[in-house]
């Protein structure tokens, strides 16, 4: 079953970020929210994940939809090591395997404050990819990464999506193309389906 948005509006301090958005997202495959900064991509993402509520309209989700999210911030628990942060994604996950996949085989015992910004983002990405979910939400997943590493991370994302719906947020159209995403251009206007 797909995700449906009906006349969704959201504003912050009188500034309308989203206005009467109508959209249907498939239950699997890949879509990309593409557009310049400040046009409401992350806001829409947060509404879909249930982290924020629309001022008007409604979002219809299949019962018990689980979201695996990788935001622009790493959101790692500072008091857990990289391995421990990865284990938060669920029992039965082998953190070492995932750390190898994100090219950080030696980082398992390190704490977030001992990792660089790019390394933290890769641990956070691994955690989102490892979490068993229905929707995989990635907000600029390869930001702050060098070109070669970014390329490898995009390959890993493509391999890990599986049967899930991937929602990618990016400024870079080539990333959407590499992941075979249907591109939804922001700012939004009219009905999307």
Partner 1 sequence: MNAKVKRALRKAFPLIFWLLVWAACYRAVGQDLLLASPLQVARRFAFMAEAPFWRCVGMSLWRTAAAYMLGMIIACALAVACHLSKLLDEVISPALLVVRATPVASFIILALVWLSSSNVPILAGVLMVVPVVFANVREGITSTDPQLLEMAKLFGWSRLKTWRRVVIPTVLPTFVAACQACVGLCFKATIAAEVIGVPKNAIGTQLYTSKIYLETDNLLAWTLVVIILSLVIERLLKAAFERGLRRVHHA
Residues that bind partner 1 (CB under 8 A): 49-51, 66-69, 71, 73, 75, 77-79, 88-89, 111, 113, 131
Shortest Å distance, C-beta 84 to partner 1: 10
Residue 7 vs 116, nearer CB to partner 1: 116
Shortest Å distance, C-beta 168 to partner 1: 17
Shortest Å distance, C-beta 174 to partner 1: 28
Shortest Å distance, C-beta 160 to partner 1: 17
Evaluated on CA atoms 109, 111, 114, 120, the torsion sign reads positive
Shortest Å distance, C-beta 67 to partner 1: 5
Tell how strand 165-170 and strand 135-139 pair up. parallel
- 55's CB contacts (< 8 A; 6+ apart) are 9, 10, 11
Residue 80 vs 178, nearer CB to partner 1: 80
**What is the C-alpha to C-alpha distance for residues 169 and 182, in angstroms, rounded to an integer?**
12
Residue 67 vs 98, nearer CB to partner 1: 67
Residue 69 vs 161, nearer CB to partner 1: 69
To 10 degrees, the CA torsion angle through 45, 108, 90, 123? 10
To 10 degrees, the CA torsion angle through 172, 127, 30, 26? -140
Residue 56 vs 73, nearer CB to partner 1: 73
**What is the C-alpha to C-alpha distance for residues 174 and 171, in angstroms, rounded to an integer?**
9
């Amino acid at each position: 079953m797909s995700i449906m948005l009906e006349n969704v509006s959201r504003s912050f301090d009188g500034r309308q970020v989203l206005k009467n958005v109508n959209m249907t997202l498939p239950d699997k495959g890949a879509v990309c929210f593409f557009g310049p900064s400040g046009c409401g991509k992350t806001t829409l993402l947060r509404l879909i994940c249930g982290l924020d509520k629309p001022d008007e309209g409604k979002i219809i989700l299949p019962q018990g939809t689980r979201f695996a999210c990788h935001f622009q911030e790493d959101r790692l628990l500072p008091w857990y090591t990289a391995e421990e942060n990865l284990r938060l994604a669920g029992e039965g996950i082998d953190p070492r395997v995932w750390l190898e996949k994100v090219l950080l085989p030696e980082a398992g015992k390190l704490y977030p404050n001992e990792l660089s910004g790019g390394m933290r983002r890769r641990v956070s990405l691994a955690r989102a990819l490892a979490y068993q979910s229905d929707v995989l939400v990635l907000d600029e997943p390869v930001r702050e990464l060098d070109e070669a590493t970014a390329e490898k991370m995009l390959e890993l994302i493509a391999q890990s999506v599986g049967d899930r719906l991937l929602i990618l947020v990016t400024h870079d159209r080539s990333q959407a193309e590499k992941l075979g995403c249907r591109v939804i251009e922001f700012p939004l206007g009219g009905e999307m389906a």
